Homo-oligomer: A and B are copies of this chain.
Amino acid sequence: MQLDKVVSYHKALADPKRVQILILLAQGEMNGQVLAEKLGVTPATITHHAAKLREASLIQERRDKNAIYFSLDHYMIQSSSKAAVNLIYRKSEGGAQEMDEQQKQKRDGVIRNFITQDGKLKSIPSQLKKKLMVLEHMVEKLEYGKKYSEKEINEFIKTYHDDFATLRREFIMHQFMFREDGIYEVNPQEMWARWETLS
């Protein structure tokens, strides 16, 4: 049941300070001190709110020198906002949501364009939407719920493309996988949700 996920997303946005944090981060990444300053609270409070936003995967973090810079996880923000509506209406009309036929064909075309007959990735698409489609195509081959070592992930990616480092980073960055203590796991969220809203 992803009720918990939906609730935790809404809890995360159920506080004005946290929404303001997201609004600020929409202008670009920012570290804790700056956020504290702009919102008129102490750094400790920012840590507190950041934890909630992190729980809901709404933000990402990057360290530079002493400071930790927060930024938005655009995909999660967009897809989570729909998750509630999907959850509410889902069961009543009893069915998984399918992507529309048009998108499906578009996707197939992109895959044919970038993946060779023998399953190699010709190149990493630079256009975001296409890149996401390719990443999705790859990650679908992995097993839900299974925990992979970094080595296994590298091996897997190398069956597609030599630049496993870049691709591995993309998987994490776009949340196709989660990493924790060097262990990788596929994100079970509906994948189409990631690019469905892009132009």
**Which A residues are closer than 8 A to B by beta carbons?**
3-4, 6-7, 10-16, 19-20, 22-23, 26-28, 72, 77-78, 81-82, 84-85, 87-93
A59 to chain B, nearest CB (A): 12
Which residues on the B side are within 8 Å of A28 (C-beta)? 92
A57 to chain B, nearest CB (A): 15
Query: Is B23 touching A16 in the complex (CB atoms < 8 A)?
Result: no
Query: Is B81 touching A26 in the complex (CB atoms < 8 A)?
Result: no
Q: Please, how many angstroms separate the alpha-carbon atoms of A23 and B27 in the complex?
A: 35
A82 to chain B, nearest CB (A): 7
Which residues on the B side are within 8 Å of A92 (C-beta)? 23, 26-28
Q: Please, how many angstroms separate the alpha-carbon atoms of A28 and B93 in the complex?
A: 11
Query: Is A88 touching B19 in the complex (CB atoms < 8 A)?
Result: yes
Query: Is A81 touching B78 in the complex (CB atoms < 8 A)?
Result: no
Q: Please, how many angstroms separate the alpha-carbon atoms of A23 and B92 in the complex?
A: 8
Query: Is A7 touching B11 in the complex (CB atoms < 8 A)?
Result: no
Asked whether A13 and B10 contact (CB < 8 A) given A77-B85, A81-B84, the answer is yes
Most buried by B among A13, A22, A91: A13
Q: Please, how many angstroms separate the alpha-carbon atoms of A19 and B19 in the complex?
A: 21
Which residues on the B side are within 8 Å of A23 (C-beta)? 87-88, 90-92
Which residues on the B side are within 8 Å of A82 (C-beta)? 81
A139 to chain B, nearest CB (A): 24
What are 11 inter-chain pairs, A to B, with CB distance below 8 A?
Answer: A4-B16, A6-B19, A7-B13, A7-B16, A7-B19, A11-B14, A19-B84, A23-B91, A23-B92, A26-B89, A77-B88
Q: Please, how many angstroms separate the alpha-carbon atoms of A14 and B5 in the complex?
A: 10
Q: Please, how many angstroms separate the alpha-carbon atoms of A21 and B90 in the complex?
A: 14
